[in-house]
Amino acid sequence: MKRIKTDLCIIGGGSGGLSLAAGAVQMGADVVLVEGHKMGGDCLNYGCVPSKALLAAGAKAQAMRGDAFGVAGVEPKVDYAAAKDHVRATIATIEPHDSVERFEGLGVKVIQAYGTFISETELEAGDTVITARRFVISTGSTPFVPPIPGLDTVPFETNETLFDLREAPEHLIIIGGGPIGLEMAQAHVRLGSKVTVIEAAKALGRDDSELAAVVLDKLRAEGVEIIEGQGAQSVSGAPGDITVELADGRNVQGSNLLVAVGRKPALEKLNLKAAGVETTRAGVKVGADLRSSNKRIYAIGDAAGGMQFTHVAGYHAGVVIRSILMGLPGKAREDHIPRTTYTDPEIAQIGLTEAEARATYGDKLTVARFDYAGNDRAIATGKTAGLIKVMVVKGKPVGAGIAGAQAGELIAPWAMAIANGLKMTAVANMVAPYPTLQELNKRAAGAYFSPKLFENPWVKRVVRTVQKLIP
């Protein structure tokens, strides 16, 4: 058994671990990266990248349908296997950036094996025992498979297997109406599959209900059947013929089943008890500094039990690098973290939703709104479905939600504003090029100030006085 000592040992080569490794080694630290599966983690191989690539294929097919702008629509000829080839090519294009070779070239020692703690200061990976001044757990998460009776007897997909399918499902049943379930529902219905989504509560239940309705209405209009308030009670059948029984006794029959009800932290292989690391059902128990009960060990990204997004893992990497390498205090926060569901239209949110803001601030809250239908670029491109809502308290945004075309891009100014404590004037003073969807943000900010300017009698009196006094 080989033994090595290092400044920093990172467990997990996903987005957070790779960001941390690249930053730390280039700042002069001795870094060991332990990865037992695929470099790039879930995001590159099973999540963000392949899902967006398949959504792009679906969008291409959908763009050919229907008459619009004087162009006659046609029914596209979809080659599902070729669409999956596009997914694989997209992953392959990005892979070198996350590869073992690149990180070894940067100076990181990469050990391709699963890591297991054997003490509070030692990690065993393959034939190597690593002693480090600091460890960072960045193992991500895996699909949660609920204990539905019969699920263990029928074939089903998760996001880790779905992208390996080469034949289009005739009828895809999806259990779970969250972002993953609905993104894959729209991609598949656009590529020619019949799709039924089963959600025990409300589809897109974490999002503002008014904004969610914009997305759900569009999906239903495209042919996605969305059943809400009905959990899956049991599953039965065989390959190509699967039945899901609902709580009300109805049966949904389809050819394929996708389980997309959430994710759980991937901590099983680590033997955290030996390391003296406390955990909860959500993940490693950490403080605001992302340090665990063992002061030598940190956790970032999905493993830390908070928001499960790739950009959160990257943000966490920046927080801990201050502490580990520079000895500076660093604390993670969540109020400035945006999230986006990449359906068409998209839905994006940062900070508090309207319901959350009303519960927190009551009558101190002002909600500024603006509809896509009032934006000239949206009108010109036929993308008028949607709206933006900004929750404002004492002149500062405490949340923003957008449902509509490019919502994930449009949320960025609000992310900057909330992260830096800026006031609404920062966005109102922005000059957006015309015609762009970015004007929606400026118009929403203007909607906040309009009543103060145009409905205030004192403003009118001042203006009238100035007009009389100044020749």
Is 177 known as a binding-site position?
A: yes
**Residue 305 clears pLDDT 80, i.e. is over it:** yes
What distance separates the 2 farthest-apart alpha carbons in the chain? Answer: 91
Is 217 known as a binding-site position?
A: no
Is 13 known as a binding-site position?
A: no
Planar angle of CA 192, 144, 310, nearest 5 degrees: 80
348 has which bridge partners?
340, 402
Specify the length of the chain in residues: 471
Is 254 known as a binding-site position?
A: no
Half-sphere exposure of 300 (CA within 13 A, CB side): 32
Domain 2-39+99-142+264-326: give its CATH superfamily: FAD/NAD(P)-binding domain (3.50.50.60)
d(CA 402, CA 245): 35
Alpha helices of 192-328 — where are they, by DSSP H?
Answer: 209-221, 272-275, 310-326
**Residue 287 clears pLDDT 80, i.e. is over it:** yes
**Residue 457 clears pLDDT 80, i.e. is over it:** no
Please report the pLDDT score of residue 444 as a whole number.
97
Convert the pLDDT of each residue in 396-429 to its tens digit. Answer: 999 999 999 999 999 999 999 999 999 999 999 9
Q: Which residues of 326-354 are buried (b: 16+ CB within 10 A; e: fewer)?
A: eeeebebeeebbbbbbbbbbbbbbbbbbb
Q: How many helices (H) and strands (E) does the chain have?
A: 16, 21
Q: What percent of the chain has pLDDT over 90?
A: 93
What integer is the mean pLDDT of 127-139? 97
Is 183 known as a binding-site position?
A: yes
Please report the pLDDT score of residue 66 as a whole number.
85
Is 140 known as a binding-site position?
A: yes
d(CA 448, CA 49): 37
**Residue 454 clears pLDDT 70, i.e. is over it:** no
Is 66 known as a binding-site position?
A: no
Q: State the CATH class of domain 151-261.
A: alpha beta
Convert the pLDDT of each residue in 150-170 to its tens digit. Answer: 999 999 999 999 999 999 999
Convert the pLDDT of each residue in 70-107 to its tens digit. Answer: 999 999 999 999 999 999 999 999 999 999 999 999 99
With contact defined as beta carbons under 8 Å apart, do 339 and 350 qualify?
Answer: yes
Please report the pLDDT score of residue 214 as a whole number.
98
Q: State the CATH class of domain 338-454.
A: alpha beta
Is 107 known as a binding-site position?
A: no
Is 306 known as a binding-site position?
A: no
Start-end ranges of CATH 3.50.50.60 in the chain? 2-39+99-142+264-326, 151-261
Is 439 known as a binding-site position?
A: no
**Residue 356 clears pLDDT 90, i.e. is over it:** yes
With contact defined as beta carbons under 8 Å apart, do 118 and 128 qualify?
Answer: no
Q: What percent of the chain has pLDDT over 70?
A: 99
Please give the backbone phi and psi of residue 291, each rounded to the nearest 5 degrees, phi first.
-95, 140
pLDDT band of residue 470 (cuts 50, 70, 90) is confident
Is 237 known as a binding-site position?
A: no
Is 198 known as a binding-site position?
A: no
Structure-block tokens of residue 248? 């009300």
Start-end ranges of CATH 3.30.390.30 in the chain? 338-454
DSSP-assigned states of every residue in 375-399: -HHHHHHT----EEEEEEETTEEEE
